[in-house]
């Protein structure tokens, strides 16, 4: 496998320039929204209400999914979202298990909202990059 050939075959669809946000009490107070239908990337604020009522991870994911969809939304509807969120302790090094993030979407199997814990580096790297 030739990595140079692989890189040459990739095409950048869009770019988004930003300054990494400060982490304050586990939050960066903004989320990254990527719309693959029209190749747009925007930043959305995290409100105090979201932090107080939904804390992060599962709460943020279900909040965003609730606001993006309707009861008629199916798994393959354009308004269905795939939300990846880490909570306020995501990525801290003092505790085991903080490398997790949570994925929310509408299930293709049941057509209802689902959430799933995901381990690895993506959640912490998202937080370190300045995104909740």
Q: What is the residue range of 66's domain?
A: 3-128
Instruction: Please tell me the predicted confidence (pLDDT) of residue 99.
Output: 87
Instruction: Please tell me the predicted confidence (pLDDT) of residue 3.
Output: 87
Is the separation of the CB atoms in 85 and 68 below 8 Å?
no
| pTM score of the predicted model | 0.83
CA atoms of 48 and 54, how far apart (whole Å): 10
Could you tell me the two tokens for 27? 């939050």
CATH number of domain containing 112:
3.60.9.10
CA angle, 97 as apex, 93 and 101 as ends, to 5°?
Answer: 100
Instruction: Please tell me the predicted confidence (pLDDT) of residue 106.
Output: 97
Instruction: Please tell me the predicted confidence (pLDDT) of residue 59.
Output: 93
Instruction: Please tell me the predicted confidence (pLDDT) of residue 93.
Output: 82
* Domain total of the chain: 1
Pick out the chain residues at pLDDT < 70: none
Instruction: Please tell me the predicted confidence (pLDDT) of residue 92.
Output: 86
The per-residue pLDDT for range 14-29, each reduced to its tens digit, is: 889 999 888 899 999 9
Instruction: Please tell me the predicted confidence (pLDDT) of residue 45.
Output: 92
Half-sphere exposure of 99 (CA within 13 A, CB side): 6
Instruction: Please tell me the predicted confidence (pLDDT) of residue 33.
Output: 94
CA atoms of 118 and 103, how far apart (whole Å): 7
Is the separation of the CB atoms in 64 and 81 below 8 Å?
yes
CA atoms of 130 and 108, how far apart (whole Å): 31
């Amino acid at each position: 496998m030739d990595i140079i050939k692989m890189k040459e075959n990739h095409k950048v669809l869009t770019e988004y320039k930003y300054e990494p946000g400060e982490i304050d009490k586990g939050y960066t107070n903004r989320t990254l929204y990527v719309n693959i239908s029209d190749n747009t990337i925007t930043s959305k604020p995290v409100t105090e209400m979201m932090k107080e009522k939904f804390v992060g991870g599962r709460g943020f994911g279900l909040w965003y999914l609730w606001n993006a969809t309707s009861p008629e939304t199916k798994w393959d509807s354009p308004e269905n979202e795939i939300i990846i969120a880490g909570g306020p302790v995501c990525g801290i090094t003092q505790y085991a298990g903080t490398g997790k993030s949570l994925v929310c979407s509408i299930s293709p199997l049941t057509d209802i909202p689902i959430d799933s814990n995901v381990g690895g580096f993506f959640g912490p790297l998202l937080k370190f990059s300045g995104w909740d």
